Amino acid sequence: MAPRFDIDLLMPAPMMPFVMERLDQAFRVCKLWLAADREALLAGVAPRIRAIAAGGSAAVTADLMARLPRLECVAGFGVGYDAIDAAWAGAHGITVTNTPDVLTEEVADTALALILMTVRRLPQAERYLRAGRWLEKAFPLSPTLRGRTAGILGLGRIGKAIAQRLAAFGVAVHYHGRQRQADVALPYHATPLDLARAVDVLVVVTPGGPETRGLVNGAVLEALGSDGVLINIARGTVVDEDALIAALRDGTILGAGLDVFAQEPTVPQALLDLDNAVLLPHVGSATLHTRQAMGQLVVDNLLAWAEGRPVLTPVPETPARSTRGAG
């Protein structure tokens, strides 16, 4: 059966089966990862491609988009879109979309779980039990969440959802962002360093990309202090991993809970060897319910664009509708 639209769409990496099925019904989909010679395939289809469905770890760079003269829309899977050069796209009239909101509550739940796991040393306690050591003596007493102050580095949708959960646990919350938010009553700090000095749980929720690379560095970790806990559910690149490993080894901070890493899926052996690091394989939004909602939003954004309607969730750097006209 012919697709619904006379439009060629590039899919650089595999996506969820139902997403691929629905996009196959709507577009002529070029599945780049299946090609024996990807460069030859791309060269052949480049003049016809008008949209990209960006899933997995595939980067949508300025170089790639520059090769596609008719490109109008890039639909990304995920709230973070640092793998897509949205600034270049916006400057060239190309719309980029992401999948915010539908994963906010799931990621906030994961963040709170990671905080509790790290502060209370719950994974270590489970390993202790499984190793049969409880038969010998009780697991050592852990630190507590009581009396702590948490700092949210990046108070967007997810950051606010985390702050609400922490408030319900009786934890005071401060924040840092690019600017103070007029409608937020929480204490604001002008720099990450200032925030780290004021708190003992630092939760990283800021977007990735060049602007935030290494934002949490050795100085920030030192300011967090020897009772401090770092939680990162944003992007691994936001934290200087070498500085973090050193801080965990020498007791500069108490512990870290990480769902993201700089070179995913590779995790430094030095982190794996540390008992005061709780490590998760980037599962912040990884439930069937939420991933299906994210996938559906990718489809809905592309269908809206193809029908000539404004897309549902454009990123700030790009227009809601291509200046070239979807048609």
Residue 114 placed within a domain: yes
Residue 47 has pLDDT above 70, yes or no: yes
Given the residues 235, 241, 291, 321, the one annotated as active site: 235
Residue 249 placed within a domain: yes
Considering the domain architecture, whether residues 186 and 173 belong to the same structural domain is answered as: yes
Considering the domain architecture, whether residues 221 and 82 belong to the same structural domain is answered as: no
Please say if 180 is a catalytic residue: no
User: pLDDT value at position 300?
Assistant: 98
Q: Which domain holds residue 296?
A: 8-102+288-306
User: pLDDT value at position 319?
Assistant: 80
User: pLDDT value at position 320?
Assistant: 73
Given the residues 126, 211, 264, 307, the one annotated as active site: 264
Considering the domain architecture, whether residues 196 and 49 belong to the same structural domain is answered as: no
Residue 79 placed within a domain: yes
Centroid of chain to Cα 324: 30
User: pLDDT value at position 58?
Assistant: 76
**Count of beta carbons in the 10 Å neighbourhood of residue 192:** 24
Considering the domain architecture, whether residues 157 and 74 belong to the same structural domain is answered as: no
The count of structural domains within the chain is 2
Considering the domain architecture, whether residues 20 and 128 belong to the same structural domain is answered as: no
Q: Assign residue 255 the CATH number of its domain.
A: 3.40.50.720
Given the residues 157, 282, 317, 324, the one annotated as active site: 282
Please say if 282 is a catalytic residue: yes
pTM of the model as a whole: 0.91
Residue 185 placed within a domain: yes
DSSP string for 97-166: E---STTHHHHHHHHHHHHHHHHTTHHHHHHHHHTTGGGTSPPPPP--STT-EEEEES-SHHHHHHHHHH
Average pLDDT of 16-44?
96
Please say if 105 is a catalytic residue: no
User: pLDDT value at position 135?
Assistant: 98
How do residues 205-244 score in pLDDT, each as one tens digit?
Answer: 999 989 999 999 999 999 999 999 999 999 999 999 999 9
How do residues 65-106 score in pLDDT, each as one tens digit?
Answer: 999 999 999 999 999 899 999 999 999 999 999 999 999 999
User: pLDDT value at position 327?
Assistant: 43
Please provide the average confidence, as pLDDT, over all residues in the chain: 95
Considering the domain architecture, whether residues 253 and 116 belong to the same structural domain is answered as: yes
Considering the domain architecture, whether residues 179 and 249 belong to the same structural domain is answered as: yes
Q: List b or e across 38-74, with b for residues whose CB sees 16 or more CB atoms inside 10 angstroms.
A: eeebbeebbeebbbbbbbeebebeeebbeebeebbbb
